[in-house]
Structure 1
Amino acid sequence: MEESYVPLLLMRHNRPLRGVMIDRQPWVCAKEFGLLMGHRHPERICRLMDDDQVRTVIFCTRQGDAGPVQVLSESALYRALCRFSHPENRSLRRWLTHEALPALRDAWEHRAQEPKRTLMA
């Protein structure tokens, strides 16, 4: 956990899913993704993933509080969807593929064009 990240809030059926871009790759909050999938114990999803599919980062919120959060990579999202088959997961996969992850990438590209500290020096 080196840096803190300001997550992008994505909403599906009045449920939040916070996501960030780390090293040009989308990562989302593991617990919130588990709740979206309807998993009984969303905190356990990380146990099934490989080490490179899970990270612990710090999310900074607008209220100023920060806390460590486990996040899943894009490959971990699809692995979880395959592992926990449920009829709703098909539409969840479509939402992730066509709306959520592109929105996350677009928001990151917009921030990437802003001036950087190293360029201003």
Structure 2
Amino acid sequence: MSTVELFTYEDVQDVRVVRDVEGDPEFVAADVCRMLDHSNPSAAVAGLDEDEKGLRNVETPSGTQQMVTVTEAGLYSLIIRSRKPEAKAIKRWITHDVLPAIRKTGSYGTTPVERLTPLEYAKRLVDAEQRAESGQQFRRAIEAGDGITLTAFHKKYFSAIRERDFFTHLYVKKWLINQRGKGSMRTDGPRAGTRRDGSEHRHPTFKGKPYMYLHGSKADGDHRRENTRVRPGQYELQLRDRLVAEGLPANENTCGLFELERAH
């Protein structure tokens, strides 16, 4: 039986949260969809990947019921698809209040109080302002470009793991299409008799398209070369956050900015 934690958004919307076997939070889908004004919760949840949803036994006033739940990654997907003007504020509440408190103390609303001297408080305030400025410069630099390649994205945020493992994660979690060795047969050269990769290999899937796109350029006459790039701006940061939520370890040099954006 999953223990239910009840969170209330702006004293109006209640959202129930349970834990999976590893202790990670899962959100009752019906509560989330109601909060985000998804008119058809079943359709909204059906659009999620299989690893973004599940079934949990939840204790209710009328007894134990089996309910559809969504993971943290699934929650982000539902927020992105919501047309409710308050969706951004709801995401801020989840990422800035609920999740950090759960990860820090094991439950919402029980963050231990730390007593600071006036000098310590002033130093913390200066440090926070400096980190905030660094975070703003970081985001402006991202928004100024036309997106980075996935290889550059890996080096920027997830170089603690091998590039091969990074791309394997993107294939397994259905961010990218995997057509390795599914293209036409090579007829000459040292690799004759082997198959090329399929024409859509490493292209973004339906799940990946909100965060990635095909960047094309013409080469060799009319032949168009395309490579997958991460969309600039908030999409780059959102993709990083979702991959972290799926278990990928972020680089230490970006973890501070990751926590900073959650705290502001």
Instruction: Give the TM-score taking structure 2 as reference length.
Output: 0.37
Give structure 1 stretches of 5+ with no counterpart. Answer: 111-121
Q: Does 2:31 correspond to 1:11?
A: no
1:107 maps to 107
2:70 maps to 72
Count of paired positions: 105
| Structural RMSD (CA) | 2.0
Question: Which of structures 1 and 2 has the larger relative contact order (alpha carbons within 8 angstroms, sep 6+)?
Answer: 1
Q: Could you tell me how far 1:64 is from its partner in structure 2?
A: 6.8
Q: Which amino acid letter does the alignment assign opposite residue 100 of structure 2?
A: P
Give structure 2 stretches of 5+ with no counterpart. Answer: 111-264
**For 1:27-106, what aligned pairs fall within 5 Å after superposition?**
27-61=26-60, 63=61, 65-105=63-103, 106=106
Higher alpha-carbon deviation: 15-24 or 26-35: 15-24
Q: Which amino acid letter does the alignment assign opposite residue 67 of structure 1?
A: Q
Identity value in percent:
23
Q: Which amino acid letter does the alignment assign opposite residue 51 of structure 1?
A: E
User: Residue 6 of structure 2 contacts residue 15 of structure 2 at CA under 8 Å; is this kept in 1?
Assistant: yes
What's the CA shift string for 1:39-94, capped at 9, x where partnerless?
11223321011111110010124x47100010000001111111224321110000
Larger Rg: 2
User: Residue 37 of structure 2 contacts residue 82 of structure 2 at CA under 8 Å; is this kept in 1?
Assistant: no
Where 1:5 maps in the other structure, the secondary structure is coil
Separation in 1, partners of 2:97, 2:17:
13
Q: Is the alpha carbon distance of 1:41 and 1:107 closer, same or farther for their aligned partners in structure 2, counting shifts above 3 Å?
A: same
Separation in 2, partners of 1:48, 1:56:
16
Instruction: Give the TM-score taking structure 1 as reference length.
Output: 0.76
Where 1:80 maps in the other structure, the secondary structure is helix
Higher strand share: 1
